[in-house]
Amino acid sequence: MLTTISWLQYLQALAILIAGYYSVVILLYYRIELFSIFQRLKNGKPKGDQSSYSKEVMGEVASDQDGNSLNSDELEFPSLEPTKENN
């Protein structure tokens, strides 16, 4: 059954399928970034100008308003050594 196609035909079909799969994945997951890149190229903006698309990952640092934070010296952990009751 597999002797009717050559290795070259098999590899070409495999390359086309892999390229199609990755094209779909890239379009699904990175479409916003791709569209912003195409818009920048179309408008003639320089590559370093990212004013049209800015995305903060973590946000700004907030201070502790409650004052409930602890220093590392104030943390207490239970002992990991087995007690005599468990033996």
Q: What is the domain range of residue 33?
A: 7-43
Cα–Cα distances in Å, from 25 out to 11, 22, 28?
Answer: 21, 5, 5
Evaluate whether residue 13 is within a structural domain: yes
pLDDT tens digits for 7-44?
899 999 999 999 999 999 999 999 999 888 888 888 88
Q: What angle do CA 54, 60, 63 make, to 5 degrees?
A: 175
The residue count for the chain: 87
Q: Is this prediction's pTM over 0.95?
A: no
Total tally of structural domains belonging to the chain: 1
Evaluate whether residue 60 is within a structural domain: no
Spatial distance between the Cα atoms of 54 and 49, rounded to a whole number of angstroms: 10
